[in-house]
Structure 1
Amino acid sequence: MKRSLEERLKDGPVIVGEGYLFELERRGYLQAGSFVPEVALENPEALKQTYRDYMNSGSDVVLAFTYNAHREKMRIIGKEDLLEPLNRRAIQLAKEVAKEHPKEEALVAGNISNTNIFDSEDPESKEKVRNIFREMVRWCKEEGVDYIQGETFYYHEEALIALEEIRNQGLPAVITLGLMGENILRDGYTVEDSCRILAEEGALVVGMNCFRGPDSMQPYLEKVRKEVDGYVAGVPLPYRTTEEHPTFFNLPDSGCRCHLPLETTFPTALDPLYHNRYELAEWAENAHRIGINYIGLCCGASPAMLRAVAEAVGQDTLNSKYSPDMEKHFLFGKDETLNENNTNYRGKA
């Protein structure tokens, strides 16, 4: 029998591969802007391959791609009739891929996320949000997920509603917050206070994901780690956010020489602003050292980046055999049989 999420957390860090949203847009199967995961129905093999690529690169979890696949988003694009089929199919595909793992079947996580309609002053909006989560969680339960990850909440109370609905179905919950540029959740909670309350209310794992890269997320992860007794998640973006520009929504590119049609690098011109895999591995080592237990990367992450993160915390991934080895490179290799005319030229290349 495969180990549960809690059993794996007790044995060491759990790696979670996210970032499907940007990766599938980059591969040509998803529209930037609306960012709705119709790929589960339109191109299921593309989604399965993406799941597989992240799993083989170290993810202990196949996270069902239902981010933004909620009733409000489907209403905006006029496809509410596809809501339930999309959710169920995304989970079914995740289960198929999870069974392919040759060492231990990967966990399958359901996924619910920020609704963008939550209003802390409007009881009606709160009820709409609860109903959105309730139906998605029920589908997750019926499809047999191992746990549910509720993510990218920038209101504490919305995160709490998500947790309540997950707990009502008797499933383990991972709840992660997206911290905007004000450095505080929109209903006034600090991220560490919110995480402490969510843990006290029964979340197995609490922490942060998305919006921020390692540099602008790590100080808050340290605060959460000090405040929370249980398991803590850190799932940053792979972008070079800063104290001045803490999120990727307004991250500038001083070297850009063209007109950006959206007048911002987000979401389709962030390419020059990546951390490299070695910087991300260094972050993962630091996160692991301070006691972050549930470690991954979010929007923008590639499988190669995730592999570097997994290896940095001691994991040997299925695709570690493809990790960089320059020994036989024609310019930079050290193999004695290489052509010396090339290796002697490396400094001039």
Structure 2
Amino acid sequence: MTSEKRKGLLERLAEGPVIGDGSMCMTLEKRGYCTAGPWTPEATVLYPDAVRQLLREYLRAGADVLQTPCFYSSDGKLEYSDVKFTSAEINAMACKLAREVADEGDAIVCGGLSPVVSYIQGKGEKAVRKEFEAQLQVFIDYDVDFVLAEFFGHVEEIEICIDVMKRAKKPMGATMRIGPIGDMNGVSVEECAVRMAKAGADMIGINCLFDINTCLKVLRRMKKALDDADLHPYLMCQPLGWLCPEVEENFCGYLALPETPLGLDPRTITRMDAHRFAREAYEIGVRYIGGCCGIESHHIRAFSQELSKERNKQPAVNDLCPKLGAQLCQSLLPNIREKVKDKFWMDLTPASGRPFSPAISAPEKSATFMTK
């Protein structure tokens, strides 16, 4: 199937929920293909086979969209991180890999734009636009299906990015890394949602930094603000794959946890959590559900399976891993066979297995982003 014959983003959203892919840099780091700290995606050039395989896992788990694996690939950020490749080189390979794997199924490709250092450094709008234009041009050249501005902490910056993205003449998404306290300048959740919509994004929402429960709180507020303003973009969310309720009132979100970045594993959400989140998000009105840091392929599968009726399809590979406990009846162990019902798993409160592990941590007061 060629990409030209596929339905585009807006067509798919009009028909029902769309499932995005999951974590790239964080997951690649666990597999040995990304450096913790800078989180830059030079693996697309150095280890394309590893990146290709992760994209393929998301596709087979049910993702309708594969995002170009080039997070934070702006020239300013790459220079700051001492990466020896340009954003054009990384983004070009990211486009090739995403398209190659998308063509193995019925997926479309999203080109992702990230915040730029020139904004934080206060170099002015002209410099900021130049960095965004450099990111965008590769996505235009490789004809991605839609573009997305993600991980923005300042609504002012994402408004500039949305305006630049209009050059691509493609559907546009916009997501901010905000929790209940709003953006890093104190702009409320409600105002951020309205401003992103008024700037021209077809799809708006949040990604990263906060967990599924915090994201649901923010999404409810966004939906009400948009309805009150008579604005109707599609809502999207790409939450974390860890639980971190103690950082709701912190601009840095999970980055303020002492466990970040190497000790977050005990906080990983279960697939049951993923099922609940997908259902609650859909009921709020969210129509694009994907994942950010910590969301792995089994979480994407859970999103897809939970909304299979609304989507009128199951994950591409679903024979060996049906929803929750459906095939546990084949186990040789009687106690495992008894867990075949969904209700057992959805009612389960999992233990951590760590006798002296605290329920939550104290966020680190030193955590902060670079500011203007």
The answer as to 2:68 corresponding to 1:64 is: yes
Aligned to 1:170: 169
Q: Which amino acid aligns with 1:270?
A: L
* In 1, Cα distance between equivalents of 2:267 and 2:153: 24
Q: Which amino acid aligns with 2:206?
A: M
Shift of 1:17: 0.8
Aligned to 2:44: 40
Deviations 1:27-79 (A, max 9, x none): 11111111110111001111111111011111101100110111112102334
2:18 alignment partner, one of 14, 31, 46: 14
* In 2, Cα distance between equivalents of 1:79 and 1:268: 22
- 147-156 or 317-326, larger mean C-alpha shift: 317-326
Deviations 1:72-112 (A, max 9, x none): 121023346432111101101111111100xx3x1111111
Give the total of aligned pairs.
Answer: 317
* In 2, Cα distance between equivalents of 1:35 and 1:119: 18
Question: What pairs up with 1:177-196 in 2 under 5 angstroms?
Answer: 177-179=176-178, 183-196=181-194
Shift of 1:20: 0.5
2:255 alignment partner, one of 235, 249, 258: 249
Aligned to 2:141: 142
* In 1, Cα distance between equivalents of 2:117 and 2:265: 26
1:2 alignment partner, one of 6, 9, 23: 6
Shift of 1:146: 0.5
Segments of structure 2 that go 5 or more residues without pairing to the other structure are: 227-231, 339-372
Aligned to 1:258: none
* In 1, Cα distance between equivalents of 2:42 and 2:141: 21
> What percentage of aligned pairs have identical amino acids?
26
Contact (CA 8 Å) 1:111, 1:149: kept in 2 or not? yes
Shift of 1:186: 1.5
* In 2, Cα distance between equivalents of 1:81 and 1:39: 11
1:231 alignment partner, one of 231, 234, 247: 234
In angstroms, what is the RMSD of aligned CA positions?
A: 1.8
Contact (CA 8 Å) 1:71, 1:80: kept in 2 or not? no
* In 2, Cα distance between equivalents of 1:80 and 1:167: 30
Aligned to 1:217: 215
* In 2, Cα distance between equivalents of 1:116 and 1:280: 33
Contact (CA 8 Å) 1:216, 1:243: kept in 2 or not? no
Secondary structure in structure 1 of the residue aligned to 2:315: coil
Contact (CA 8 Å) 1:30, 1:37: kept in 2 or not? yes
- 237-246 or 47-56, larger mean C-alpha shift: 237-246
Q: Which amino acid aligns with 1:248?
A: Y
Question: What pairs up with 1:50-129 in 2 under 5 angstroms?
Answer: 50-79=54-83, 81-101=85-105, 104=106, 106-119=107-120, 122=122, 124-129=123-128
Aligned to 1:274: 268
Aligned to 2:292: 298
Contact (CA 8 Å) 2:210, 2:247: kept in 1 or not? no
Secondary structure in structure 1 of the residue aligned to 2:319: helix
- 322-331 or 270-279, larger mean C-alpha shift: 322-331
